[in-house]
Amino acid sequence: MDVGLLLLRLAVGLTIGAHGAQKLFGWFGGGLDAAGQAFAMLGFQPGRRHALMAGLVETGGGLFLALGFLTSVGAALVFSVMLVATVSVHLKNGFFNTSGGYEYNFVLGVAGLTLAFTGPGALSLDAMLGLSVSGASCGMAACFVGSAGGLLELAQRRSAPSDQTATAA
């Protein structure tokens, strides 16, 4: 079971972390300026600040999950950022990723959250440090904190001006 949890943590954590690094450091064809423009077009103003925060949340949450360090915190961060991505970008496109839907974000968010319920396993920094924080209460807390964080971010979103909406279409 511990190897399975390690594989799940690495797959989800490093995938989310790579998205954050793409925003923060311009790796893989990204960067804060490009991400900031995309965030502004989605109604998050100022776009660059929101892109920076998303990049930090993705990088930090992803690394926490991958390392199995403060796993419930990492799970809440991953769930939060995937909630925002789902609602602000993908929900209108339906479920399937092939149509730009929320399938991918849903799976990553729930997989990350699952680790708050199960714990990171023995092959983790939490286990090495003697941090035994998992179970129903930790999972529910991560779900609540992640939902609250995502909803707070979404509450800051404003409708995009009509000229930006036309450009985005």
Per-residue model confidence as pLDDT tens digits over 46-92: 999 999 999 999 999 999 999 999 999 999 999 999 999 999 999 99
Interior/surface letters 111-145, b for 16+ CB within 10 angstroms, e for the rest: bbbbbbbbbbbeebebbeeebebbeeebbebbbeb
* Structure confidence at residue 29 as a pLDDT band (50, 70, 90): confident
C-alpha distances out from residue 90 to 15, 94, 106, 129, 135, Å: 18, 7, 10, 38, 30
* Structure confidence at residue 167 as a pLDDT band (50, 70, 90): very low
Per-residue pLDDT, averaged over 22-38, amounts to 91
Q: Which pLDDT score is estimated for 85?
A: 96
Q: Which pLDDT score is estimated for 153?
A: 96
Q: Which pLDDT score is estimated for 159?
A: 72
The residue among 51, 52, 53, 32 whose CA lies nearest residue 42 is 51
Q: Which pLDDT score is estimated for 160?
A: 54
Q: What is the rounded CA–CA span in Å between residue 164 and residue 83? A: 23
Q: What is the rounded CA–CA span in Å between residue 3 and residue 8? A: 9
The angle that helices 2-25 and 71-85 make with each other, rounded to 10 degrees, is: 50
Q: Which pLDDT score is estimated for 164?
A: 46
- Find out whether 64 and 79 touch, Cβ atoms under 8 Å: no
Q: What is the rounded CA–CA span in Å between residue 116 and residue 10? A: 14
| The pLDDT of residue 102 is above 90 | yes
Q: Which pLDDT score is estimated for 163?
A: 45
Q: Which pLDDT score is estimated for 132?
A: 79
